[in-house]
Structure 1
Amino acid sequence: MASMASTTSTATVPPPPPPPSQGKREGDISDSFASLSGLNATPLADRYRQLKLSLVADHDEAQIVASWERLLDVLKEENDTIARLGPDVIPSLRFSHLDEDLQSQRSELKKRGVAVVRGVIPRDEARAYKDSIEQYVAENKDKTKGFPPENPQVYELYWSAAQLAARGHPNLVQTQKRLMQSLWHVSNPEAPVDINQPTMYADRLRIRLPGDARFALGPHQDGGSVERWEPQGYGLGKVYDEVFRGQWEEYNAWDAGKRAAAVCDLHSGLGACSVFRAFQGWLSISDVGPRQGTLLVYPLASLATVYTLLRPFFAAKRSVDAVSPTEFLSKENWQFTSGSAMNSDLQGATPGHGQEFPDGPDGHTLHPHLELARTMVHVPQVAPGDFVVWHCDGIHAVDKVHNGTSDSSVMYIPVSPLTEVNARYLVRQREAFLTGLPGPDFPGGKGESEHVNRPEASALGSEEARQAMGLAPFVAGKDASPGAQAITNKANAILGFP
């Protein structure tokens, strides 16, 4: 493996250390989710009951109840719209007209929290990525792990030449920047975050074959689960304070300044993301459409989060078996729980795993007002080189069965701004890259450290790509806010640049 000096950057970077000791055991993507890893649902510890009581203790109960009832009214109307429109509800942007499309669809993009950006990388180039990956797997067949182990659909690969090329592609970097600049903002100019400088987050890839039913990941949110309620989690950034006060209409899901302070992995889960991803995303390297092993989303990112956060504080007066579905969902059937009636439930949340939206033990959904059976919609048809993104709080899933006739293949590539948490992660990820080990957030083991034809650091050709990987110093723009300039300086110091 080449040293840092093999890149064209003029900055001096410390030489790669010996392979870092991975604190996490070996595993795969199933370890990130309670449902895939086979965990049985068990009640949360009593401290979560106490936490719930503390979150609403100083707020007006009537105000919280009124906000819940307003939310249910809005959800009912919006769910009908989603069910009627299906995949057409998801905005599509053109890379060739990106600024124009972002401007004209900005309001809808922020409402939906999901988009397809078409033609980010030329079709033939993106399609060739898959050929390159398949060759890399074939060359390292006995060393490459995946899920499920007997017939991998999601590979534990992070450092293939194709992944490096895609993450650092000038078109993709430009798309990442414009998405953050157009849809996110920083309300406090002193907040230490720069949405003009993307950072790289090395994730896995998927080559899902026709007929697969094992990678059946149901509706979920990434970025932790219980952390959304915990004061040392998202509470550090006061991300959701308005929701717990009963003023959810004032909650802004797109304020990067608040997110920069949040901690989304308090429990060191295998595959639990510890960085701030403004968007999660994947780059398609195959043609894929609905029911062909693709993504489904609930296209109301902000409202979904508000409902998820408030749901643990309300219980049905009459069960779904006792009344009609309409009566069960009506706001008159739901009551606020407080005092001795409060329990520790955070529906679908399991420490160390993602937030899931499963059916309950009696077969009924735990989050009924989202009506996910009819509101989880497929991403529309995509082609190699299309980039699909969704808000970091967005509820998403994958087809339970791949009913297509060809593979459904993507590389997971999020959109992450420059923050202190992200810079500290880059230091550890840079070490993992140079030694071929999995990134710090992911299950441990040898990874690709013994793979043949693993690319060298020089494969990250552009200066922007090297910056995003922590191989070159970041440079704040001339009009950078005080907070953006401060985090640029701090990040460079963290990364070892003068």
Structure 2
Amino acid sequence: MLSTTRTTSLKLRPRSLWPAVSQCQHLFLTGRTVTECKKDGDISSVFRSLSGGSHAESLPPRFADVKRSLLARAQNRDVLYASWNRLLQRLQEDIRIIRDKRPTIIPEIQFSDLDKPSSDFSKAFKKRGVAVIRNVVPEKEARSYKEDAEKYIAANPSTRAFPPHDPQVFELYWSRPQLTARAHPNMIKTQRFLMSYYQSSNPDAECSTQNPLMYADRLRIRQPGDAGFALGPHVDGGSVERWEPEGYGRGRVYDKIFDGAWEDFDPWELSTRLDAVSDLYQGAGACSMFRMFQGWLSMSYTGPHEGTLLVNPLFNLTTAYYLLRPFFTPKHSPPATSFSPEFLDPHNWTLENPITPDLQGSSPGHCQELRPRWHPHLDLPNTMVHVPRIAPGDYVAWHCDTIHAVDALHRGKRDSSVMYIPACPTTRANLDYVVRQRRCFEQGIPAPDFPGGKGESEHVGRPGIQELKDISEVDGLRGAGYAPFDVVTATSRGEAAVLAYGSKLLGF
């Protein structure tokens, strides 16, 4: 189904830097190097903080050159310094708002209202980058997903999970309840709704937000008392790639920020994201697909401090901050126990000289992690906000730039269970991924972005192609790569082009 003869002269990194994987094939698709399979692992592969790595390790000297190149973009160093000062002032103001409105800061909407969202919801959603959509799947059905998943796990005790001694996150991608939830008509409608908030300044951008593509991700069944699955504040979709010219630089995603005009950066502009590369190092948990939103569907009742999600609703400001932070350094060291106003004051911060390779919280092959000691002005202990109490069938979604975390300790009395289901548009790169993902589904091995191994290939009760067809309507089959797209429905030349490309690539 996949031709390997389409190559390009653009190689994102030397072959010597490719990960050591056995029996894997390196392909060139849409100008990007991809790896057909990855090393065994689990969700800890994504996070240095979970996999035992140390952020004290320095980045290679070449990252200093990357930073020098970005510094040269601004008209002069004073322009970038002035933008940094404006950002710190704005952060102070908005952090006060977050502290005052914590319980109500995250917008919510009923699934039944998606056809007529209020202006208040839309305004809050675009400002905060996160939303709760209530009753996407009927509660009884959502609870049955967890029951069926638990039966599947019990029937297949070899299922890989994290932590191995006390499983909370399972390396499952192809169970029947997961396939059912991804293909559910209500889920697809919700994904369309969310992606409609993106727009393109280029009418010929080859992207369709009306045709969500399936992204097979894991599921979590986190038990009370668990402290192992403690994900601190982070942003998925790579780390060092955000600064690198061959990464997000290919799409010029963050140019406005590096130009010293962060106020003009539009996180909802989709055209710049289409060429961005978020997985230059293809770590065991790196994400190569463009996920406009990450999200999860709840299979249980859960509330704050009960093993649930935290997000940072400062949204756009945080993106500008963690991208600019590597260029600035304090004149005086922070106090031993807290960050004083004097330490945080803009007058205490100056542009680096000399330029170092430091990109705080970044490590090739991992996600971008954030910590108070690296990003003191974000006041993370106070600006990371719990999502509200969630019921089975509710869906939580957050923009791909959003900082998010997981409760360090599950203090609740019942499990906190979710299926990770992001919202992915139809693009050329995403279609290339779906072709590879389709083959993984048929073989029962983990999806391409995830740690490799035999996965579910020998699992009892694993669904096949016919089962997928039985539970899916045509939109669900399109998203999984098993039905052609309807080009007639396209509303632009770019959308028509990418849908035609998709049907041909998928063999229709």
TM over 0.5: yes
Given candidates 149, 158, 182, the residue that maps to 2:164 is: 149
What's the counterpart of residue 353 of structure 1?
366
1:247-272 C-alpha deviation (Å, 9 max, x unpaired): 11111101111111100000011111
Q: How far, CA to CA, are the matches of 2:210 and 2:44 in structure 1? A: 33
Q: How far, CA to CA, are the matches of 1:430 and 1:51 in structure 2? A: 36
1:12-66 C-alpha deviation (Å, 9 max, x unpaired): x89xxxx987531110000111111001221100100010000111422111111
The alpha carbon displacement at 1:358 in A equals: 2.6
Q: How far, CA to CA, are the matches of 2:107 and 2:379 in structure 1? A: 21
What's the counterpart of residue 349 of structure 2?
334
Worse-superposed segment, 23-32 or 80-89? 80-89
What's the counterpart of residue 95 of structure 1?
111
What's the counterpart of residue 13 of structure 2?
none
2:437 aligned with 1:429, yes or no?
Answer: yes
What's the counterpart of residue 112 of structure 1?
128
SS in 1 for 2:489: coil
Given candidates 32, 42, 62, the residue that maps to 1:47 is: 62
Q: How far, CA to CA, are the matches of 2:316 and 2:108 in structure 1? A: 19
Cα 1:25/1:94, change in 2 over 3 Å = same
2:184 aligned with 1:169, yes or no?
Answer: yes
SS in 1 for 2:115: helix
TM-score (norm 1): 0.92
What's the counterpart of residue 9 of structure 1?
none
The alpha carbon displacement at 1:487 in A equals: 1.0
The alpha carbon displacement at 1:87 in A equals: 3.5
2:399 aligned with 1:391, yes or no?
Answer: yes
What's the counterpart of residue 488 of structure 1?
499
Q: How far, CA to CA, are the matches of 2:150 and 2:422 in structure 1? A: 22
What's the counterpart of residue 390 of structure 2?
382
SS in 1 for 2:78: helix
Cα 1:444/1:81, change in 2 over 3 Å = same
2:475 aligned with 1:464, yes or no?
Answer: yes
8 Å contact kept, 1:222–1:354: yes
Q: Alignment identity in percent?
A: 52
The alpha carbon displacement at 1:489 in A equals: 1.4
1:80-107 C-alpha deviation (Å, 9 max, x unpaired): 1112222310001110112323544212
What's the counterpart of residue 292 of structure 2?
278
8 Å contact kept, 1:43–1:344: yes
Q: Superposition pairs for residues 231-270 of structure 1, below 5 Å?
A: 231-270=245-284
SS in 1 for 2:350: strand
TM-score (norm 2): 0.91
What's the counterpart of residue 125 of structure 1?
141
What's the counterpart of residue 214 of structure 1?
228
Cα 1:94/1:82, change in 2 over 3 Å = same
Unaligned runs of 5+ in 1: 1-12, 360-364
Worse-superposed segment, 22-31 or 277-286? 22-31
What's the counterpart of residue 6 of structure 2?
none
Q: Which stretches of structure 1, 4 residues or longer, exceed 6 Å deviation after superposition?
A: none
What's the counterpart of residue 10 of structure 1?
none
What's the counterpart of residue 453 of structure 2?
445
Q: How far, CA to CA, are the matches of 2:37 and 2:134 in structure 1? A: 39
What's the counterpart of residue 8 of structure 1?
none
Q: Superposition pairs for residues 284-363 of structure 1, below 5 Å?
A: 284-321=298-335, 325-338=340-353, 341-359=354-372
Cα 1:335/1:186, change in 2 over 3 Å = same
SS in 1 for 2:113: helix
CA RMSD of aligned residues (A): 1.6
2:387 aligned with 1:371, yes or no?
Answer: no
Cα 1:102/1:272, change in 2 over 3 Å = farther
8 Å contact kept, 1:145–1:155: yes
SS in 1 for 2:286: coil
Worse-superposed segment, 198-207 or 56-65? 56-65
Q: How far, CA to CA, are the matches of 1:438 and 1:23 in structure 2? A: 9
8 Å contact kept, 1:192–1:483: yes
SS in 2 for 1:101: coil
8 Å contact kept, 1:212–1:402: yes
Cα 1:163/1:381, change in 2 over 3 Å = same
SS in 2 for 1:282: strand
8 Å contact kept, 1:95–1:175: yes
1:54-79 C-alpha deviation (Å, 9 max, x unpaired): 01114221111111111111111111
SS in 2 for 1:410: strand
Q: How far, CA to CA, are the matches of 2:503 and 2:403 in structure 1? A: 34
Q: How far, CA to CA, are the matches of 1:176 and 1:138 in structure 2? A: 31
Higher RCO (CA 8 Å, separation ≥ 6 residues): 1
The alpha carbon displacement at 1:324 in A equals: 6.3
Cα 1:476/1:138, change in 2 over 3 Å = same
8 Å contact kept, 2:293–2:423: yes
The AA in structure 2 aligned to 1:48 is: F
SS in 1 for 2:195: helix
What's the counterpart of residue 420 of structure 2?
412
1:317-371 C-alpha deviation (Å, 9 max, x unpaired): 1111289611111111111125xx1100000000000000135xxxxx1001110
8 Å contact kept, 2:241–2:248: yes
SS in 2 for 1:390: strand
8 Å contact kept, 1:115–1:389: yes
SS in 2 for 1:291: coil
8 Å contact kept, 2:235–2:369: yes
The alpha carbon displacement at 1:477 in A equals: 5.0
